[in-house]
Amino acid sequence: DTEVTQTPKHLVMGMTNKKSLKCEQHMGHRAMYWYKQKAKKPPELMFVYSYEKLSINESVPSRFSPECPNSSLLNLHLHALQPEDSALYLCASRSGATGSGNTIYFGEGSWLTVV
């Protein structure tokens, strides 16, 4: 079963709100990712966690704060976002610790609208 579960599916938040996106996988994967996808564009990598430690931050603004509480969970905390941050946020996970051949599996995404 290759399933990555994301909640909520839809989120509307004001620019002063604090909210979180959640991601869960029970495949035993040790690498987890956050991607951002704008309409009609490919996904763009935001963060990579490997063995619950942040290994890549693609120069993402600090109003996005990732957290990996354990090997199955990945959160993205949102605060003081801008309307241009409205997008589809995709969580993904990968089996194995090393090697380029391991497949990255994506969740269904969380649609975020900032008003």
Token pair of 19, please? 């909210």
In the complex, least distance from residue 36 CB atom to other proteins, rounded to whole angstroms: 12
Token pair of 13, please? 């938040």
Count Cα neighbours of 18 within 13 Å in the Cβ-side half-sphere: 3
Token pair of 32, please? 């987890």
In the complex, least distance from residue 67 CB atom to other proteins, rounded to whole angstroms: 18
Does position 56 bind other proteins by CB under 8 A? yes
Out of 23, 32, 48, 114, name the contact with other proteins by CB under 8 A.
48
Out of 23, 25, 32, 43, name the contact with other proteins by CB under 8 A.
43
Does position 55 bind other proteins by CB under 8 A? yes
